Structure 1
């Protein structure tokens, strides 16, 4: 199936047939799209599915999903932050393979970001060090990309543990890779995070390239960065308030006029010579219709959960089809939920 049509009918038909390869037979089928399911003038939701929630595949828990990507065969790669990479069937979105992951010493990863290269290798970020490693399809490490000293976790650098590379994506053409930091560096103003890029060399390696600043909304962090076909970025901002629930907002960001902040030691947002990435709100997902969803803990909209992963599954006539996934943290009061959405981006 071509990328432009992949999952375009997820919310209309195929998702309703989503089944679970293993696990309890309590899966909730996706709800078909109905007219007026707009979350905002720019974004609408067609369906959701909880069919993977609290299931297993080949002895591996299908949850903790933190990233999604489309592979070269059109299937969906789904990354668990517990060192596992699943392949989901492009039509049913049920698991078909699982590959264990580890670092160079065999230690489990806190794997958060995923990008798939043109030769099928997987680039996976771990937010522990942080690190970006390249893996073959069998989960063997091919190499490891350089990371700026400042982005390392303290005391080696200025990053906070569990607040590093949360998003990973190739820009169009796959010549540039981008990783989005979840939280701010020590010394930078709270809420301003850094996006690091690498450029592909003639020997097919990756070298450090430009870095950019991005300001999140108050109290929110970056949970995913995904490139659009025109070279901009979709940025998921996420927050959680106990007793209230999740805040999930989707922005489109433009780096074209942003300053390369590689040599800027501290970002305050007030420097006259530093331009942060420009961002435009596509939707606050609290405004989406519930589609009959239920929540296991308080939420401002029962459709919401801890959404961490996102990929573009198709595009046509200026509209992008998106697939999102929530990370249940293997927690009884959270849900592994897949969401199918469509957005029309504003003009650059």
Structure 2
């Protein structure tokens, strides 16, 4: 299903169309020579293809390793067909200046793709191959994130969105590029890892109790739209961005995705990362400082330990010595804790004491 007009400049449209045409021309050239065509896709699942820049975060190396998708190989022939279909769909979308969701694409061709995850992966592969942001392809993803606080803006179709409600959050837009007329008096943005914690802070009317602020959650590992939204707000409002995550390897990795980006989306790092993000909590050192009851702490599992070891080897860790110290403390104590563990100190401790004091006295890293 095609949707409303997308926010793309003519020059941007021409660039995308030219890139797709060049891919198709190369395929036709091979066929004219009775050669089996192949597509070359940068490998988005290898740390060897990623470099670290303290200003941008994780970005794909210019000399990245690639995957060869051959049309005459049984293992890759289906993938070759799937990529061609996505190229065809995106060419039509860009040419007609419309957009579609990834879910629409899957339901239009369920037999070809087999699952929604395949569509998601192929769209990102095509975006990486063409070296254009995914939004430029006219393909949008359904958002899972929520946002609330001192914020109003207009959607591309003119719909006015007001996020001030203290009882219900607003779903993050699927078309971040189309958002305009952003108005906010927020003093900071708070990224909350979990939906449960986000809902608790919403219920406690955190934004009214503290300075005007904006809260957003990606409900765990963030989708691209949630990351784009935070980045857009940071670009427009120029306010500090804090993260509130569990004191465990999973939470730390989620925070790092917002700040430094991810390996899989490193080709689009400049529009997704927020280098100035601060770690507000829950810090491993907070567990000792606040004397969180031992029965509220959880022993690290083997999976946790492996994840922590992996994080400690990431290229950006040496750029954050205070973060490294916190991770080493977790590794030493072999305990983790959810944000909800603070309820063991007091039912309203998180909203009434922990967050206000952290923000007032600069208790972040």
Which bracket does the TM-score occupy, shorter chain normalised?
Answer: under 0.3
More RCO (CA 8 Å, sep 6+): 1
TM-score (norm 2): 0.25
Q: Whose helix proportion is higher, 1 or 2?
A: 2
- Give the number of the structure whose alpha-carbon radius of gyration is greater: 2
